[in-house]
Structure 1
Amino acid sequence: MNGDSHIVVDVRAVEKSFGEGQNRIHVLKHVNLEARTGEILMLVGPSGCGKTTLLSAIAGTLKIDGGEVNVFGQPLHDMSGGALTRFRAKHIGFIFQQFNLIPTLSIAENVSVPLLIQGVSNGTAIKKARAALESVGLGNRWKERPNKLSGGQQQRVAIARALVHEPPLVICDEPTAALDAQNGEIVLDLFRGVARSPDRAVIIVTHDNRIFSYADRIAKMDDGEIIEVHEQSQDVKPHFEHEAAH
């Protein structure tokens, strides 16, 4: 990460609860977090600690109960539905844990959706989608439907879809969980390239300790709070560990 980096995600005192009365669960408790340009920030911690909820708040897909979520200087917590949708379409690429591919579309058509939302012509969108699929090793499968692919291949399609419109912020929920070491390394190298581009950043929620070496900073969560953030030296090229993920 270079010295010219600046804050693009600024989470301040964010609170989020689910349920009512005695069943109310406080999932995020006064969370503060920053993400900067030029970095891969990984969010780690035990299952149920609030990582995905925080990621959804940063992506603007979940309304918070209190605090602030500012992304590229814009207050997502105060934005209306339409403005928020337009902002997300232009600035954020979200890789969902469940892929969320449209089964009736080819994988190229799935990948082209963010471009079509921005008004790109169908022909240009498909051309860019095919290039994005090529970058994740699926260029020769572009006509196929999602049900013809393995879980790991569908994950790579979801990654191509999140990157195709070159969003300045890429947000990922367990992006390597379904990937073997070879494809995991391809994907992490892509994310690293994104993070090293001017004015772009990547945030990854993960349990996959094979990929920790790719992080510039690691934020540890527990019980709805950020308990520690530490920086990692990137003097040595990171590598995807060839061992079982935990």
Structure 2
Amino acid sequence: MSTVTRDAVQMRGVDKYFGEGDARTHVLKTTDFDAPLGELVMLVGPSGCGKTTLLSVLAGTLNADGGQVSVFGERIDQMKPAALTRFRAQNIGFIFQQFNLIPTLTAAENVSVPLLIQGKSNAVALKRARDVLERVGLGHKAGERPSKLSGGQQQRVAIARALVHEPRLLICDEPTSALDRENGTLVMQLLRDVARSADRTVIIVTHDSRIYRYADRMAEMEDGRVFRTLDSAVAIAAEHSGHG
């Protein structure tokens, strides 16, 4: 059942384990996390603290082993697989650290995939894909396959693919890791514009201190828990003034 909330994402008391027996590891430890509508939220912390696992649980690509996970007021932890797949296709976009582009498709064809999944015609999907590629500075590469693109260009294609169906929640795992300062700035300005929409939210896992200034809110993780949240750009700047 839906509930009215200002938060795009609410996680309460979420646990996640990997492995069995003596090798079982408690990765998320009864953690809470919120991401309000209309904000760009960054999730930071040392490698191995559980950031990517938290993203995967709130995106529904991993099941929580305990706790509650709500996205736009819907308990995705209680959804059956088919319903969850539909919900994700309609509401969530992903920017993966490893790009996950299809090597046999052109840049425009890769970007069009989410629209084809939604049932759009090939012509409509490709036109929209080319428009979004223009926005990330790659309109001239629309006909190229991934093998002909640099790492930074492949990253921008992946970002365009995540944006093409205008998801309400955009989840990003190190979106600027392969980008130089100029292209990182281009991408972050685009993501910030997306987050400024009243009914959308962007969540970014990052180690890139250059982009901290774009955050409206920063959740800091350590040892499987969110231990502190800085809830304004002023607080983030005060705490991380030596970065970027």
TM-score w.r.t. length of structure 1: 0.92
Q: Which residue of 2 aligns with 1:49?
A: 49
Aligned counterparts of 1:219 and 1:41: Cα–Cα separation in 2: 7
Q: Which residue of 1 aligns with 2:36?
A: 36
Q: Which residue of 2 aligns with 1:88?
A: 88
Q: Which residue of 1 aligns with 2:222?
A: 222
Structure-to-structure mapping, 1:59-138, within 5 angstroms: 59-138=59-138
Unaligned runs of 5+ in 1: 235-242
The answer to whether structure 1 residue 202 and structure 2 residue 202 are counterparts is yes
Aligned counterparts of 1:46 and 1:14: Cα–Cα separation in 2: 19
Compute the displacement of 1:12 (Å).
0.6
Q: Which residue of 1 aligns with 2:8?
A: 8
Q: Which residue of 2 aligns with 1:191?
A: 191
Aligned counterparts of 1:38 and 1:79: Cα–Cα separation in 2: 25
**What is the identity, as a one-letter code, of the residue corresponding to 2:73?**
G
CA distances 1:175-209 after superposition (whole Å, capped 9, x unpaired) = 00000000001100111110111200000000000
Q: Which residue of 2 aligns with 1:23?
A: 23
Structure 1 residue ranges, 4+ long, deviating more than 3 angstroms after superposition: none
**What is the identity, as a one-letter code, of the residue corresponding to 1:224?**
G
Aligned counterparts of 2:96 and 2:68: Cα–Cα separation in 1: 23
Alpha carbon RMSD of aligned pairs, Å? 1.4
**What is the identity, as a one-letter code, of the residue corresponding to 1:110?**
N
Q: Secondary structure at the match of 2:162?
A: helix
TM-score w.r.t. length of structure 2: 0.93
CA distances 1:13-65 after superposition (whole Å, capped 9, x unpaired) = 00001011111110000010111111000000000000000000111100110
Q: Secondary structure at the match of 1:189?
A: helix
Contact preservation (8 Å) 2:213, 2:233? no
Contact preservation (8 Å) 2:174, 2:205? yes
Q: Secondary structure at the match of 1:55?
A: helix
**What is the identity, as a one-letter code, of the residue corresponding to 1:40?**
L
Q: Secondary structure at the match of 1:13?
A: strand
Q: Which residue of 2 aligns with 1:155?
A: 155
Q: Which residue of 1 aligns with 2:237?
A: none
CA distances 1:48-106 after superposition (whole Å, capped 9, x unpaired) = 00000000011110011001110011111111111111100010001111000000111
Q: Secondary structure at the match of 1:54?
A: helix
Q: Secondary structure at the match of 2:228?
A: strand
Aligned counterparts of 1:152 and 1:218: Cα–Cα separation in 2: 25
Q: Which residue of 2 aligns with 1:182?
A: 182
Unaligned runs of 5+ in 2: 235-242
Aligned counterparts of 2:16 and 2:196: Cα–Cα separation in 1: 32
Aligned counterparts of 1:81 and 1:6: Cα–Cα separation in 2: 26
